[in-house]
């Protein structure tokens, strides 16, 4: 779809300016900043589709990656080198770069959160705040950065959020229905009262959403005292400037929507050599 969107097989500029259809070129992909690389298999998939296209049926492209997904890459380091038909690499260059830049930005951003938290007992989770169609790729990039995946879709587990509580008649009503389904149940609590209302139902996970540190600590004390086996997730308003405040808390997860929905692409370039 990305190649079709870019009209990769109808590149009027390359067709007009490059007269020799068999011309070969050596190229390299380099990092222009420190990052966690992600997207090797995606790049291979683009290349394979170029190879299988009618326009490039008698041409070839080879690429050798020197960095693996999840690996730290320093500024100006070489990520990959290759040799290709000039028109073929020009047809796929932007699609390859767009994808690996985006995925590497997620992996890099996730790595920064993991490093800033500096507590391996607490897992950094992503959310469903992903680009439509790109969820599997984006969540894969989170794992490459050292994070973990929350539910992949609406069918993965029961996750009761504020709108469910509002539309479903309150905490007691929705939990009474959910707990009886023999499925993993998580409930999002916006305040201490909702936490207290949740305790008799012993949900698998209680999410503390947009609470102050003082409220979070109070909620932790309540949950650990009454439900020692219930996992605790903190969500909302956590960023790199304040994640250190959560380092010493007795929690299991911190979910961060910005891992996939608001990171700036890292800078990666493809150059002929």
Give the active site residue among 55, 129, 135, 184: 129
Active site residue 40: no
User: Checking DSSP bridges between strand 72-73 and strand 35-36, what pairing results, if any?
Assistant: antiparallel
Sequence-distant (6+) residues with CB within 8 A of 7 are none
Q: Residue 55 gets which letter from DSSP?
A: G
- Count of C-beta atoms within a 10 Å radius of residue 256: 28
Give the active site residue among 69, 93, 186, 188: 188
Give the active site residue among 93, 126, 209, 233: 209
Active site residue 94: yes
Strand partners, 81: 28, 64
Q: First-to-last CA distance in the chain?
A: 29
d(CA 100, CA 65): 13
Q: What angle do CA 212, 254, 123 make, to 5 degrees?
A: 150
Active site residue 247: no
Sequence-distant (6+) residues with CB within 8 A of 68 are 37, 40
Give the active site residue among 55, 94, 184, 224: 94
Active site residue 11: no
Active site residue 188: yes
Report the candidate in 249, 243, 180 with the shortest Cα–Cα distance to residue 214: 249
Give the active site residue among 51, 161, 184, 224: 161
Q: Are 107 and 38 in contact (CB under 8 A)?
A: yes
Catalytic residue positions? 94, 129, 161, 188, 209
């Amino acid at each position: 779809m990305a190649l079709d969107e870019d009209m990769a097989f109808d590149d009027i500029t390359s067709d007009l300016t490059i007269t020799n259809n068999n011309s070969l070129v050596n190229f390299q992909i380099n990092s222009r900043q420190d990052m966690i690389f992600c997207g090797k298999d995606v790049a291979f998939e683009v290349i394979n589709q170029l190879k299988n296209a009618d326009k490039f049926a008698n041409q070839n492209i080879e690429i050798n990656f020197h960095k693996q997904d999840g690996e730290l890459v320093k500024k100006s380091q070489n990520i990959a080198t290759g040799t290709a038909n000039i028109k073929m690499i020009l047809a796929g260059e932007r699609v390859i770069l767009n994808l690996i830049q985006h995925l590497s930005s997620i992996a890099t951003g996730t790595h920064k959160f993991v490093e800033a938290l500096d507590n391996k007992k607490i897992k950094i989770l992503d959310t469903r705040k992903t680009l439509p169609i790109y969820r599997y790729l984006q969540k894969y990039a989170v794992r490459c950065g050292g994070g973990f995946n929350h539910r992949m879709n609406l069918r993965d587990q029961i996750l009761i959020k504020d709108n469910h509580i509002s539309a479903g008649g309150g905490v007691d009503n929705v939990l009474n229905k959910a707990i009886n389904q023999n499925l993993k149940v998580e409930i999002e609590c916006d305040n201490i009262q909702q936490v207290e209302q949740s305790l008799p139902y012993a949900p698998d996970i209680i999410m503390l959403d947009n609470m102050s540190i003082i409220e979070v600590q109070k909620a932790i004390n309540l949950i650990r005292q009454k439900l020692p086996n219930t996992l605790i997730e903190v969500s909302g308003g956590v960023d790199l400037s304040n994640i250190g405040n959560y380092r010493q808390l007795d929690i299991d997860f911190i979910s961060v929507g910005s891992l996939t929905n608001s990171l700036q692409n890292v800078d990666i370039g493809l150059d002929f050599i």
